[in-house]
């Protein structure tokens, strides 16, 4: 059996670590460019980290203009701001959008390449500046992945993939995730569970290490998401969710995602549905669709989440899908496309865009044609 597995070289998992950010990153950078969004700043989540940078004597610049599904125009503007600061390192602080933006900035600061030239797999050339990532949600796993997803100027989702996108350091501080609203906790937690499920069942690059990480991630996430939703200040539940998201991120960075993500992307582009919520909406229909090809693996995951059924693979796989649907519903997450403003007449466009996401669709256990995609969207309208 031959496989490769890559991940970030350094991980600090410590509740309260953000306050020590200055001493943590000082060996790597003196003029950090801190990338976040206005919501994180407004909530005061970054205050302790910035004080830590000041205490360490680091001359930082703060960019809080990150937007959801990072638009190319915003990313390009941030790169210019980082260059003007003469940044020698980048810190991504926030959700997946902030961390993805930070990754691209770290690559482009000292590069002659344009953003458009680095879209795709291994198109970025040269080395990036030092990069540290701190997630404030337990969901995307972006702190340990080698991909950034950017929304192009013609409203397409494009990935930048390559070894340079692995950060030097991931700092996971569960205190940053406390008191997140229920809808954020549920959507980001389900996003992480999708990462684990798709990594475990991917058609390409599935391997024993990613399997072990994905299974452990799904166990942690499925067992704690309800608790984190019901008791947002429960540190133990938040730590479990953050660890689960981290492990799922390591898994899908090596065993890539598939149709759930491919079908979620157009919802983000056309209706600005948050990524985690979009994944949640498409999870159950895609799982049911995949059963003819993925039943044995879904049966194994059913054991992981306590689906507690016996019988043949198909019966156990159906029990797994039913249990996952139950877990998601218990969080109160929206379950219909109509709940997020999607109407019947746009479904053909969504299906057309989804099947074009070849990078992800090719990993799905079962091939998804246009008619299949249209039927899946229709199922949850």
DSSP string, 188-242: HHHHHHHHHHHHHH-SSS--HHHHHHHHHHHHHHHHHHHHHHH-TT-HHHHHHHH
Which residues sit opposite 127 in a β-bridge?
Answer: none
C-alpha distances in Å from residue 62, one per residue of 31, 50, 77, 151: 11, 9, 13, 22
Half-sphere exposure of 187 (CA within 13 A, CB side): 18
Q: Distance between CA 306 and CA 318 in Å, rounded? A: 13
The SS3 call for residue 174 is helix
Give the CA radius of gyration of the chain: 20
Looking at the chain, list the stretches that DSSP marks H as alpha helix, in order from N- to C-terminal side. 21-25, 38-42, 47-55, 72-84, 96-108, 115-118, 182-201, 208-230, 235-254, 259-271, 275-305, 313-330, 347-355, 358-361, 370-379
| Residue 233 pLDDT | 92
Tens of pLDDT, residues 281-338:
999 999 999 999 999 999 999 999 999 788 999 999 999 999 999 999 999 999 999 9
| Residue 3 pLDDT | 93
| Residue 139 pLDDT | 87
Q: Give the CA dihedral 88, 125, 261, 324, nearest 10 degrees.
A: -60
C-beta of residue 189 within 8 angstroms of C-beta of residue 241 = yes
Angle, helices 370-379 vs 275-305, to 10°: value is 90
Degrees, nearest 5: CA angle 175-179-183: 125
Q: Which domains does the chain have, with CATH numbers?
A: 11-177 (3.40.50.1970), 182-379 (1.20.1090.10)
C-beta of residue 158 within 8 angstroms of C-beta of residue 119 = yes
| Residue 157 pLDDT | 84
Sign, CA torsion 301/233/243/67: positive
Supply the pTM of this predicted model: 0.94
Reading the chain (381 residues) residue by residue, the pLDDT tens digits are 899 999 999 999 999 999 999 999 999 999 999 999 999 999 999 999 999 999 999 999 999 999 988 999 999 999 999 999 999 999 999 999 999 999 999 999 999 999 999 999 999 998 999 999 999 999 889 999 999 999 998 888 899 999 999 999 999 999 999 978 999 999 999 999 999 999 999 999 999 999 999 999 999 999 999 999 999 999 999 999 999 999 999 999 999 999 999 999 999 888 989 888 999 999 999 999 999 999 999 999 999 999 978 899 999 999 999 999 999 999 999 999 999 999 999 999 999 999 999 999 999 999 999 999 999 999 999
Tens of pLDDT, residues 31-41:
999 999 999 99
């Amino acid at each position: 059996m031959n496989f490769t597995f890559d991940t970030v070289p350094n991980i600090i998992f410590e509740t309260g670590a953000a306050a020590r950010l200055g001493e943590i990153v000082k060996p790597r950078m003196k003029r950090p460019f801190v990338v976040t969004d206005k919501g994180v700043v407004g909530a005061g989540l970054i205050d302790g980290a910035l004080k830590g940078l000041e205490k360490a004597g680091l001359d930082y610049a703060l960019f809080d203009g990150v937007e959801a599904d990072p638009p190319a125009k915003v990313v390009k503007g941030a790169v210019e701001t980082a260059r003007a600061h003469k940044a020698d390192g980048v810190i991504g602080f926030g959700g997946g959008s902030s961390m993805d933006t930070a990754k691209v900035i770290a690559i482009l600061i000292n590069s002659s390449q344009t953003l458009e030239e680095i879209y795709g797999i291994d198109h970025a050339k040269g080395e990036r500046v030092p990069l540290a990532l701190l997630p404030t949600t337990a969901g995307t796993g972006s702190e340990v992945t080698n991909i950034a997803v950017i929304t192009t100027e013609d409203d397409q989702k494009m990935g930048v993939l390559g070894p340079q996108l692995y950060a030097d350091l991931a700092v996971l501080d569960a205190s940053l995730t406390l008191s997140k609203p229920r809808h954020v906790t549920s959507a980001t937690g389900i996003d992480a569970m999708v990462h684990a499920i798709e990594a475990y069942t991917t058609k390409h690059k599935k391997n024993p290490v990613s399997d072990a990480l994905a299974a452990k991630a799904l166990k942690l996430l499925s067992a704690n998401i309800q608790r984190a939703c019901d008791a947002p200040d429960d540190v133990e539940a938040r730590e479990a969710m953050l660890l689960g998201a981290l492990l799922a991120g390591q898994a899908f960075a090596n065993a890539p995602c598939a149709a759930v993500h491919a079908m979620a992307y157009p919802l983000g582009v056309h209706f600005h549905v948050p990524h985690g919520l979009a994944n949640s909406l498409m999870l159950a229909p895609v799982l049911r669709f995949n059963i003819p090809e993925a039943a044995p693996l879904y049966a194994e995951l059913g054991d992981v989440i306590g689906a507690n059924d016996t019988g043949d693979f198909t019966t156990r796989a159906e029990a797994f899908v039913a249990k996952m649907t139950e877990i998601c519903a218990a969080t109160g997450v929206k379950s219909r496309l109509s709940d997020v403003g999607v109407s019947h007449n746009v479904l053909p466009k969504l299906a057309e865009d989804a099947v074009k996401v070849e990078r992800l669709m090719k990993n799905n256990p079962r091939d998804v044609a246009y008619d299949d995609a249209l039927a899946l969207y229709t199922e949850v309208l």
